[in-house]
Amino acid sequence: MKKILNNPENYVDEMLAGMTAAHPEYYRLHGDSGKVVARAKAGKSGKVGIVTGGGSGHLPVFTGYVGEGLLDACAIGDVFASPSAEQMADAIRAADSSAGVLRLYGNYGGDVMNFDMAGELVEFEDITCTTVLLADDVASAPPEEAEKRRGVAGMVYAFKIAGAAAEEGRDLDAVTAVAQKAADACRSIGAALSPCTVPQAGKPTFEIADDEMEMGMGIHGEPGVWRGKLKTADDIAGEMMDRLLADMPLTNGDRVSVMVNSLGATPPEELYILYRMVKSRLEDAGATIVMPLVGRYATSMEMAGVSFTLCKLDDELEKLLNAPCDCAFWRVG
């Protein structure tokens, strides 16, 4: 995988510089670590703040989702590396308007430790924090250990739903509760066809033969459930849907949103080919599809592959999902 780069050391700084320069109406750098992105126009005062954070290399995740009806601030690390506790504390400060801050992010060891530590740091400044972890990747642990699962594209639903709740003026406990409900309603699985290259490492995250794929692989190249011959689009989609529906069965009348997400290089053409099968499987289950999201919502730079996410909705979640939001990568309403 070839990359267009300058000095790999400066990858994230240059990326953030370009991003804030291209979209000054959405994003600004906050603080002096250079790794915290906040809304260009701060949210309403008295609104619950929502922060996230994690490694770079997943645009639009994480920084891209800072915006109205979504996140207030985000701390971003090097590619695939957690930002520091200090940077996360800065993001929390940027998000706080004295109604407390929800930390909403993916379940990765480093991120959890750092966000916990960041919470201890800002406690001294009287900022109240709550936490909701996304753990939606069904391939990363069996259902009995669901709390150990990694957080992947499901976080986009959680950002959207929690963001809408905060925008409505709900208090910290209420925003946290609905974010947890959204997190619990999400199941994801990925399939990778090719690796990506972490700029500072300079070599692909893993090796895979030209005719192979890996089912269940994580977004940093974490091992999946099987590696084998590349299957057809319909077979891939079918197996991914089987695995998701086994973990979260749907019954007649259920309402569900589904994301068919490119991990990066896989073009929309192929996502649409997959979507036919996704739709027919959901309809076979008797479910109604609400706001299907087909595109690049959570990526690993130039990795080829896809992930599917199901988000099972009740009336509250559906209403919040449909509420307006606006950032450089996604707009609803």
Ligand X SMILES: Nc1ncnc2c1ncn2[C@@H]1O[C@H](COP(=O)(O)OP(=O)(O)O)[C@@H](O)[C@H]1O
Decide if 26 contacts 290 (C-beta within 8 A): no
Instruction: Please tell me whether residue 171 binds other proteins under the rule CB under 8 A.
Output: no
CA distances from 159 to 136, 153, 167, 303 (A): 14, 10, 12, 23
Instruction: Give the DSSP per-residue string, 303-317.
Output: BEEEEEEEEEE-HHH
Known catalytic residues?
A: 58, 220
Closest CA to 273 of 330, 309, 310, 235: 235
Instruction: Please tell me whether residue 15 binds a second copy under the rule CB under 8 A.
Output: yes
Cβ-based nearer residue to other proteins, 26 or 62: 62
Decide if 328 contacts 23 (C-beta within 8 A): yes
Euclidean distance between CA atoms 213 and 190, whole angstroms = 11
Q: x-or-dash pattern for other proteins, window 96-115, by CB under 8 A? A: -------------xxxxxx-
Cβ-based nearer residue to Mg ion, 81 or 118: 81
- The residues that bridge with 307 in the sheet, in sequence order, are 190, 261
Instruction: Please tell me whether residue 17 binds other proteins under the rule CB under 8 A.
Output: no
Element of type H or E holding 243:
helix 233-247
Euclidean distance between CA atoms 168 and 157, whole angstroms = 17
Euclidean distance between CA atoms 295 and 28, whole angstroms = 25
Partner in contact with 129, chosen from Mg ion, a second copy, other proteins, none, beta carbon below 5 to 8 Å by kind: none
Interface stretch with other proteins, choices 60-68, 86-94, 279-287, 302-310 (CB under 8 A) = 86-94
198 Cβ contact partners less than 8 Å away, ≥ 6 residues apart: 57, 79, 80, 205
Cβ-based nearer residue to other proteins, 218 or 264: 218
Cβ-based nearer residue to ligand X, 109 or 333: 109
Instruction: Determine phi and psi for 103, rounding to 5 degrees.
Output: -90, 115
Sole binder of ligand X in the list 45, 109, 210, 253 (CB under 6 A) = 109
Partner in contact with 9, chosen from Mg ion, a second copy, other proteins, none, beta carbon below 5 to 8 Å by kind: none
Decide if 57 contacts 198 (C-beta within 8 A): yes
Cβ-based nearer residue to other proteins, 32 or 269: 32
Sole binder of other proteins in the list 17, 22, 201, 246 (CB under 8 A) = 201
In the complex, the smallest distance separating the C-beta of residue 82 from other proteins, rounded to whole angstroms, is: 3
- The residues that bridge with 191 in the sheet, in sequence order, are 215, 306
Instruction: Please tell me whether residue 331 binds a second copy under the rule CB under 8 A.
Output: yes
| Cα–Cα–Cα angle for 314, 316, 322, rounded to 5 degrees | 100
Q: Which residues ranging from 121 to 160 are in contact with a second copy (CB under 8 A)?
A: none
Cβ-based nearer residue to a second copy, 171 or 279: 279
Instruction: Please tell me whether residue 177 binds a second copy under the rule CB under 8 A.
Output: no
Decide if 307 contacts 263 (C-beta within 8 A): yes
Partner in contact with 332, chosen from a second copy, ligand X, other proteins, none, beta carbon below 5 to 8 Å by kind: none
In the complex, the smallest distance separating the C-beta of residue 285 from other proteins, rounded to whole angstroms, is: 30
Decide if 299 contacts 38 (C-beta within 8 A): no
Q: Which residues would be at the binding site for Mg ion (CB under 5 A)?
A: 81
> Token pair of 297, please?
């919502």
Q: x-or-dash pattern for a second copy, window 249-268, by CB under 8 A? A: -----------x---xxxxx
Decide if 47 contacts 169 (C-beta within 8 A): yes
In the complex, the smallest distance separating the C-beta of residue 171 from other proteins, rounded to whole angstroms, is: 28
Question: Which residues contribute to the site for a second copy (CB under 8 A)?
Answer: 1-6, 11, 14-19, 21-23, 56-57, 59-60, 64, 193-194, 210, 213, 230, 232-234, 236, 260, 264-276, 279, 292, 294, 296, 299, 301-302, 304, 306, 331
| Site of interaction with ligand X (CB under 6 A) | 109-110
